[in-house]
Structure 1
């Protein structure tokens, strides 16, 4: 059985590869998407509701651009460097994966989406510095925050009813308020007393206010917890429904396992759209034709379509085929981590974290009791997988090792 793409956003098309309408560019060509993202200082962040968020003295790194963004990326790069990830966090990942798998094996069935949330929250919390509150409740608070219908709140704020505006503001801030009160504030207090090697300590040293640190924690939480949770579930879904791929993954060395996971991410990018706003005129090329972008225009970059651009990824772009022959400079995940100055800094963390847990899961004799339901975030056309229920049919030797507290 050959795995095919499962995350197809309703109504999206692969054509036309480039279109321009009413000062909006819609770009589906991998070549053109890469050019736009790499065009130095030509565009600014326009996605993730960045253009509706009031500017602060210290904006979230996701919303920064230009020299300020480059400086901050340089200062925080040490937390996400591949060597740091491997030496500092691999043992933590292995230990937590062992503990969670052992816990799951005590139940008749378990939900992978809940299981992977706890795991991804705990790993990201160590990197960020959110280590002064219990992981389980923090994971629940983050889930409530990210699954709260923020778009509805924004719509209500634009409405005419003052009561609707007030209700939206109150309800929209309850999940964030709880996250700050129980998770972020204790971490800030602890780092001010005794700095550590983590993101919050860095932000405290940079003079960020509590509210600015909160927003950064939400930003890193979205990038490092929520997206990795979906990636773990999607990789597991593909591997459990493709026996050949699962055997290949289990027999592979780390390099090949990473190729397989990166190909899943290429096929199933968690963020479906990136948006940029042109700050000056510039040109990009697609299929031999040059297009001129004017200052002020919006660029909507279709990541799912770019990742399945046959001219870049080769034949059968909607099928999972690890080890594709890609053009020089294009990673195995193509545009799933973005590119250019805003390329996701946590790519090494996400791949290693996913591999550690998924490898342990694949060593078990698991069956899919209920396949996940795919939901969609309209803001970025990103998917969520919920209700993914698994069962261990019999305790394999590796499972008994987990229960006994030994990591194979």
Structure 2
């Protein structure tokens, strides 16, 4: 156990605080919620809905990530079977371990590797298994998905660059559809399996709606997990005490350490909601029509809820203050990330193996980048090296 008395008010273990403080912006008409207790009450209640719902299409074929109320509840219940602890341990665990072993075998052979590339390939393999994108080459599909992500940057491009970016995004999406999504749909039309695409076919989804779901899972599962794996590796490789504790811990305690890392450097920084009814809670009140921005990062370091020295990385914190270790890092309430345990488990499997590679060390720290569309950080070009195989 780490002795919390070693922490002081000036200690700050966050890696991305300065970048987020510089780049994170919210609409001036929005009210920022930074209290963890108040945020939890609102997110677990029924007084808010996702901002932007008015732009949705047919709810029958809209992703669960963008719905509210009964439509959201029904779809959430329908997909919950893909994310249970039992399914993670019996169906996905072997996929995680095999993918991690393959990636680390390549690392041992080459003597070095890029963490963001390895973590993305792992995240793609695991998410593809859950979704059902298993009828094409996984390495090629990872490149196809990466190419489609240029669509996230189109709104921030200059006026002359935007048409070119839009064309690139369209062509990349078409390639992903033809090479990866349609073969998966065809195979599951012939024979259903236990995955999301089979479920969507049972629900009558057209091919285009299935494609949108696949892109949504790519952003929600693959992209965020990539950043989290690199961030957790950065913390662990740079702190010998934390690393030794992680390697000596049980699987459950390793998850606790990862949750504490995500508390300090959450991949998702804000959630946008709008208030649907005047509401009074034990922590405050909101008024119908208000636009709320839940500041996840601020809530995660709210000393009133997380305890003293909130900027210090302390794996024993959640146990000491008797709360869930992920705080708001995966959201809360009905819209809490359904794949949270998948992300934590694949990160744990990979890092437990990575840190045991002989001579493993962080040769180059990652570059800190920012994406305005997602209001989140990106970590690129972190290099790890190891002893020759």
- Normalising by the residue count of structure 2, what TM-score does the alignment of the two structures yield? 0.90
Partners of 1:121 and 1:113 lie apart in 2 by 12
Asked if structure 1 preserves the Cα contact closer than 8 Å seen for 2:32 and 2:294, the reply is: yes
Asked if structure 2 preserves the Cα contact closer than 8 Å seen for 1:121 and 1:225, the reply is: yes
Does residue 319 (structure 1) correspond to residue 312 (structure 2)? The answer is yes
Asked if structure 2 preserves the Cα contact closer than 8 Å seen for 1:153 and 1:172, the reply is: no
Aligned partner of 1:352 in structure 2 is 345
Asked if structure 2 preserves the Cα contact closer than 8 Å seen for 1:313 and 1:326, the reply is: no
The 1:21–1:3 alpha-carbon spacing in structure 2 relative to 1, beyond 3 Å, is closer
* Residues matched between the structures, number: 376
Aligned partner of 1:403 in structure 2 is none
Asked if structure 1 preserves the Cα contact closer than 8 Å seen for 2:104 and 2:354, the reply is: yes
Partners of 1:243 and 1:94 lie apart in 2 by 24
Does residue 388 (structure 1) correspond to residue 382 (structure 2)? The answer is yes
Please list every run of 5 or more consecutive structure 2 residues that lacks an aligned counterpart in the other structure. 1-5
Displacement of 1:170 after TM fit?
3.0
Displacement of 1:25 after TM fit?
1.2
Aligned partner of 1:80 in structure 2 is 83
92-101 or 118-127, which deviates more: 92-101
The 1:144–1:169 alpha-carbon spacing in structure 2 relative to 1, beyond 3 Å, is closer
Secondary structure of 1:393's counterpart equals: coil
Does residue 183 (structure 1) correspond to residue 180 (structure 2)? The answer is yes
Partners of 1:236 and 1:325 lie apart in 2 by 21
Aligned partner of 1:58 in structure 2 is 61
Aligned partner of 1:372 in structure 2 is 366
Partners of 1:260 and 1:87 lie apart in 2 by 23
59-68 or 361-370, which deviates more: 361-370
The 1:9–1:77 alpha-carbon spacing in structure 2 relative to 1, beyond 3 Å, is farther
Aligned partner of 1:399 in structure 2 is none
Secondary structure of 1:322's counterpart equals: coil
Does residue 227 (structure 1) correspond to residue 216 (structure 2)? The answer is no
Aligned partner of 1:131 in structure 2 is 134
Alignment of 1:203-242 (within 5 A): 203-242=200-239
The 1:3–1:10 alpha-carbon spacing in structure 2 relative to 1, beyond 3 Å, is closer
Partners of 1:194 and 1:357 lie apart in 2 by 32
The two structures, once aligned, show a CA RMSD in angstroms of: 2.5
Aligned partner of 2:296 in structure 1 is 303
- Normalising by the residue count of structure 1, what TM-score does the alignment of the two structures yield? 0.86
Please list every run of 5 or more consecutive structure 1 residues that lacks an aligned counterpart in the other structure. 14-19, 396-408
Aligned partner of 1:8 in structure 2 is 17
1:53-78 deviation digits (Å, cap 9, x = unpaired): 55564111111110011011111100
Displacement of 1:381 after TM fit?
2.2
Partners of 2:349 and 2:222 lie apart in 1 by 15
Aligned partner of 2:3 in structure 1 is none
The 1:155–1:386 alpha-carbon spacing in structure 2 relative to 1, beyond 3 Å, is closer
